[in-house]
Amino acid sequence: MHSKNPISCSICVSTYNRPAALRLCLQSILSQSYLPQEIIIGDDGSGQETAALIDDFKKKSPVEIVHVWQPDEGYRLASCRNKSFAKASSEYIIQIDGDLILQTNFIEDHIKKATPGTFICGTRVLLTPGYTDEVIENSQFLEPSLFSKSISKRYNAIRNSFLSKVFYRLQRSPNQYKYVLGANMSFYKKDLLKVNGYNEKYSGWGKEDNDLAIRLINAGTSLRVLKFSGIIFHLFHAGEGRHKLKENEDILKQTIANNVTFVPDGISSYLNRE
């Protein structure tokens, strides 16, 4: 695979106090058909159990694992991701969450579609609460069939290289920022630096991914949607609190109205630090 000099790739994983899910996620990364150059774990304030798990994986991983921790001061995903981006040494960054299990070709699929001047958003398959409990209890994931009752959004589990190529080329509305999924995105690092990454005015759940997508598009980077490849399985969890959603929506409206590209509070705050 990748005889043509593949681009260097870092995978950035966001986590918060769910070590059993993170274990499955890291196992799936290390089982990929194409390994990343490094794994950056952006940790929004998890406790000692998560730190111990990461240390254990560091000892056995064939690629470097970097643990970027910040204090638990509420939901601060934007700064967590920016700190991970700042640490990433590769030219290309794949962004996921730590409660995902990656299909074996996930990284390979993203890299095959990586094209200068674009960034990518994929989709996800949802696992039911019961199946999630079973997977976590056994610390083992067996990919369910398309007809399994253990999954929803099952059409996102179809991996077909021909259909993926056709869909990728025939997209008519590539800049639909409303549909981006922060748990399955990839970018050239230079494009993230151009807009300064995530806007850290966002706190609490919601809209920070849409804001980043809009600013990348405003800066001339096209959004491409990945279908029939780049498959992730999302372990069930209860929804995040939405008490900051209205405030976040107001920030998003300003980004759209003012054609914003660059934000001051972003990746640049963490560059060139020891």
Reported as a single tens digit per residue, the pLDDT across 104-127 is: 999 999 999 999 999 999 999 999
Q: Which residues pair with 184 in a beta bridge?
A: 96
Question: Which pLDDT score, from 0 to 100, does residue 240 have?
Answer: 66
Q: Tell me the average pLDDT of the chain.
A: 92
* Confidence label for 175 from pLDDT (cuts 50, 70 and 90): low
- Contact status, residue 95 vs residue 22, Cβ threshold 8 Å: no
Q: Is the pLDDT of residue 1 over 60?
A: no
Location of structure tokens 């194409």 = 34
Location of structure tokens 């096209």 = 222
Q: Is the pLDDT of residue 3 over 50?
A: no
Location of structure tokens 């986590």 = 15
Q: Each residue of 33-76: pLDDT tens digit? A: 999 999 999 999 999 999 999 999 999 999 999 999 999 998 89
Residues in Cβ contact with 267 at an 8 Å cutoff, skipping those fewer than 6 apart: 82, 85, 86, 192, 193, 196, 197, 198
Mean pLDDT (whole number) for 216-240:
91
- What pTM was computed for the model? 0.93
**Structure tokens that stand for 3 in this block:** 């005889």
Question: Which pLDDT score, from 0 to 100, does residue 211 have?
Answer: 97
- Contact status, residue 211 vs residue 253, Cβ threshold 8 Å: no
- Contact status, residue 76 vs residue 269, Cβ threshold 8 Å: no
Domain spanning 9-270, CATH class: alpha beta
> For the chain, how big is the Rg over CA atoms in Å?
18
Pairing outcome for strands 100-102 and 232-234:
antiparallel
- Contact status, residue 133 vs residue 109, Cβ threshold 8 Å: no
Residue 186 has phi, psi (to 5 degrees) of -150, 150
Return the exposure string of 192-222: e unless at least 16 CB atoms fall within 10 Å of the residue's CB, then b.
bbbbbbbbbbbbbbbbbbbbbbbbbbbeebe
Question: Which pLDDT score, from 0 to 100, does residue 226 have?
Answer: 93
Question: Which pLDDT score, from 0 to 100, does residue 206 have?
Answer: 84
User: Measured between alpha carbons, how far is 71 from 16 in angstroms, rounded to an integer?
Assistant: 11
Mean pLDDT (whole number) for 160-184:
82
- Name the residue ranges covered by the structural domains of the chain: 9-270
* Confidence label for 238 from pLDDT (cuts 50, 70 and 90): confident
